[in-house]
Amino acid sequence: MSEKAMQKKRGGRVLDFIERAGNRLPHPYILFLWLCLILAVISMLCSAAGVSVVNPTTGDTVTSNSLISKDGFVWLLENLLTNFQTFTPLGLVLAMQIAIGFAEKVGLLTTAMRRAILGVPLWCLTATVLFLGINGSIASEASIIVVPALAAAAFESVGMHPVAGLLAGYAATNAGFTACIIVAGTDVLLSGVTESAAQLIDPAMTVNATCNWYFMFVSVFTLTVAGVFVNKKFIVPRLGIYQVQGNEAGEAGLTERQGKALRAAGIFSVLFILAFALMVIPRGGILRGEDGSILNGPFIAGLVPILIFYFILVGVVYGVVAGTLKNSSDVPLFMAQALEGMTGYIVLVFVIAQFINMFSYTNLGMIIAVKSADALQAAGFTGIPDAVLYPAVLRGEPVYDQRLREMVHFRADPGAHDDDAGLQSGLRQVIYRIGDSCTNAITPIYPYIPIAIGMAKKYDKEFGMGSLISMMLPYSIAFLLVWVVQMVIWVVFNLPLGPGVQVFL
């Protein structure tokens, strides 16, 4: 790779302060160790004070469990390795990095991006990245790794700042995660949680996976527009000029062998898609669920492995034709090289996994959720103020299922069919999704932040935690504002959230 000379403009005193302060924080590993210690002390104090809440789902009393106790110490000893081994993002990140990194090593990604995007104006390229990233929930959390990496390669291949592309892809796949033009696995998951919570009030109530489809379909386009605006007005000016020495970027000319290899990869991609279409589209397809549906079948559940197979196989096809793969031994060699930069992430994940599971053990997540809901209830917020403020209270984390259950029951009258504000459980789900999505990208304990920082360091060695959060903040704020305005419009005009689902009962 050619040496790159980067000149970074500075703009916005608040963002400058956030970046400087964030980059002065200790290494994330040390930061999480401190967080674990602070959590332990807080859990001990809450346990000693007898802090408790009533579980809105079961009616049971939930108390804070102290980590600084015999039971807490025994729990940590018995679960230390399990916490690490069962940490879902670790396996996902490593497996996807093997596949994506391999496709990059053989030259497929760079060549494909250069061919596909040369001559495309910046706003159109940014809009494409954002649109694809927001719809990335189709591929579950794999999109958080795939889209930013491809976006950075796309921007660099046409001489644009790769970090700007990476940030756009990261913002789209996180802050806009739950929006999608089609019903995806996320909708199935959330509808199941919402339905089980709603049935505690009305056993006959059902919540379909399409209950938010209309709202989320429109959200894809509104968030894309907001993201393009943020990228143009805040991110690109802040990053400054990105210069590549030589002709690495901006050259349309591909060699004859590269063109031939790209065509072969394209033909393989079509055949790959057709093969899976034959297993999914027919009513008796082997990748459909037992009930005959696609959403509840192995196709959605196995989408990440399918993507891994695809990137590896299409990389092999391209590499053989292009000559970048000399023999079969190059395949595992390139895969191993793709993981060379992941050792730091693996070490960091060990302490992240401990913190997240410790937080779950203390029951503080449930306590915070219920106490926050009680605070809004005591303040007398109903209707639109209730809907607008709740995303600020709600945060996505391991106990999000319970938080969504609590949200559905927020101020619920057991004898009624919904809460006293008359809001549908479908809208409650929308509120949860907004609060969960917008804050992911700027939460320091979010497990994918180290991956984004690692990707960015490839292009900017000084990029750190503060850099990421300061540049994600405009995206998160813009997405939150757009989503809240859109939600208010839905409430005011009582527009359908999905097929047969209104805002109010």
Residue by residue, DSSP assigns 338-403 as HTGGGHHHHHHHHHHHHHHHHHHHHTHHHHHHHHHHHHHHHHT--HHHHHHHHHHH---STTHHHH
363-386 mean pLDDT: 69
pLDDT band at 283 (very low <50, low <70, confident <90, very high): confident
| 76: phi then psi, degrees, rounded to nearest 5 | -65, -45
Measured distance CA(213)–CA(186) in Å, rounded: 11
Q: Half-sphere exposure (CA, 13 Å, Cβ side) for 72?
A: 22
pLDDT band at 160 (very low <50, low <70, confident <90, very high): confident
In this predicted structure, the answer to whether residue 407 has a pLDDT above a threshold of 70 is no
Measured distance CA(481)–CA(497) in Å, rounded: 19
Model pLDDT, residue 413? 36
The answer to whether the CB of 494 falls within 8 A of the CB of 503 is: yes
Q: Is residue 377 exposed (0-12), middle (13-18) or buried (19+ Cβ within 10 Å)?
A: middle
In this predicted structure, the answer to whether residue 344 has a pLDDT above a threshold of 50 is yes
Model pLDDT, residue 116? 63
In this predicted structure, the answer to whether residue 421 has a pLDDT above a threshold of 50 is no
- Average pLDDT of every residue of the chain: 81
In this predicted structure, the answer to whether residue 225 has a pLDDT above a threshold of 90 is yes
Helices 256-280 and 303-322 cross at an angle (nearest 10°) of 150
Measured distance CA(308)–CA(237) in Å, rounded: 35
Pairing outcome for strands 241-244 and 61-63? unpaired
CA angle 145, 150, 155 (to 5 degrees): 135
Segment among 46-60, 109-123, 260-274, 280-294 with least mean pLDDT = 109-123
Measured distance CA(360)–CA(355) in Å, rounded: 9
Model pLDDT, residue 5? 40
The DSSP element (H or E) to which 243 belongs, if any, is strand 241-244
Q: Is residue 56 exposed (0-12), middle (13-18) or buried (19+ Cβ within 10 Å)?
A: buried
Model pLDDT, residue 120? 63
Please state whether 140 falls in left (phi above 0), alpha (psi between -120 and 50) or beta: left
User: What is the DSSP code (8-state) at residue 323?
Assistant: T
| 358: phi then psi, degrees, rounded to nearest 5 | -65, -40
Measured distance CA(153)–CA(396) in Å, rounded: 30
Segment among 66-80, 119-133, 269-283, 411-425 with least mean pLDDT = 411-425
pLDDT band at 408 (very low <50, low <70, confident <90, very high): very low
In this predicted structure, the answer to whether residue 24 has a pLDDT above a threshold of 70 is yes
Higher pLDDT among residues 134 and 185, named by residue? 134
Model pLDDT, residue 250? 42
User: What is the DSSP code (8-state) at residue 292?
Assistant: S
Strand-pairing partners, residue 498, are 501
Measured distance CA(340)–CA(335) in Å, rounded: 9
389-409 mean pLDDT: 44
The answer to whether the CB of 472 falls within 8 A of the CB of 441 is: yes
Segment among 5-19, 171-185, 426-440, 447-461 with least mean pLDDT = 5-19
Least Cα distance to 231 among 313, 310, 282, 166 occurs for: 166
Cα 32 from chain centroid (whole Å): 20
